Amino acid sequence: MDIGLYRQYLQQFVQEAVDNSNGTIAGIAENLHAKNVSGLLVFHKDEKKRALDDACQAFDEHRHWPLEIILSHLGLEAS
């Protein structure tokens, strides 16, 4: 697994979920769960799947944490 691609996809998925949600942790988690990275023609499927799974897990397990703390937990910067 390419860690650089993983971190890129993690940042991308979380940013898209934050932008397309209502701003709550539950809304972000819901948006992440709606994403799909499966298919035959998906490039870097392992990195994308792992990044999405890790983001979903973080937002599911830490719904009571503020967004900035969850992002820090994932190693991401708040934008």
Would you kindly state where each structural domain of the chain is located, as residue ranges? Answer: 3-74
Alpha-carbon span 50 to 53, nearest angstrom: 5
pTM above 0.85, yes or no: yes
User: Rounded mean pLDDT of the chain?
Assistant: 91
For 42-69, write each residue's pLDDT tens digit. 888 999 999 999 999 999 999 999 999 9
What is the model's pLDDT at position 23?
A: 85
Q: Which is more confident, 56 or 1?
A: 56
Task: Name residues whose C-beta falls within 8 Å of residue 31's C-beta, 6 or more positions apart in sequence.
Answer: 16, 17, 20, 21
Residue 79's pLDDT band (boundaries 50, 70, 90)?
low
